Copies of this chain bind each other. A is one copy, B any other.
Amino acid sequence: MSDLLERLRERGWRLTAQRRVVAEVLDGDHVHLTADEVHARAVSRLPEISRATVYNTLGELVVLGEVLEVSTDGRAKRYDPNAHHSHQHLICSHCGTIRDVHPAGDPLAALPADERFGFAVSGAEITYRGLCPDCH
């Protein structure tokens, strides 16, 4: 994650305590926190950090391509730091747990030309749903 901060600094990002804390909170695998969850964890390390800064920082990380925004349920967006490894998501229909998964093949290949309606199709997001081991 220090690589991340270094990379961003080289891109002209000003390195503040707040941004460092947000980046630290997002470190790890299978991390899919909401903005409020990120804020809560950030506050425990830097009590005066504001909600607005967390939103700003998450938004910047998304634009910079360092974090993915995932809208799984129409409620709060979640932020996924695993942006450099293409993956999809598997979500428990009961408890909401999210795992990163790697399906075989290229999902775009499954969409025939006559189903593209003249679009220049550039990507596909897949959400698999089912019950996790704890919920069945």
Contact = CB atoms under 8 A, between A and B. Distances in A.
A16 B123 CA distance: 43
B119 A90 contact: yes
B130 A122 contact: yes
* Chain A residues touching B, majority SS: mixed
Interface stretch (A5-13, A18-26, A36-44, A110-118): A110-118
Interface residues of A, number: 40
A105 interface: yes
Interface in A73-111: 73-74, 77, 90, 92-93, 99, 101-105, 107-108, 110-111
Contacts of A50: none
A81 to B, nearest CB: 17
B120 A130 contact: yes
Interface of A: 69, 71-74, 77, 90, 92-93, 99, 101-105, 107-108, 110-112, 115-133, 136
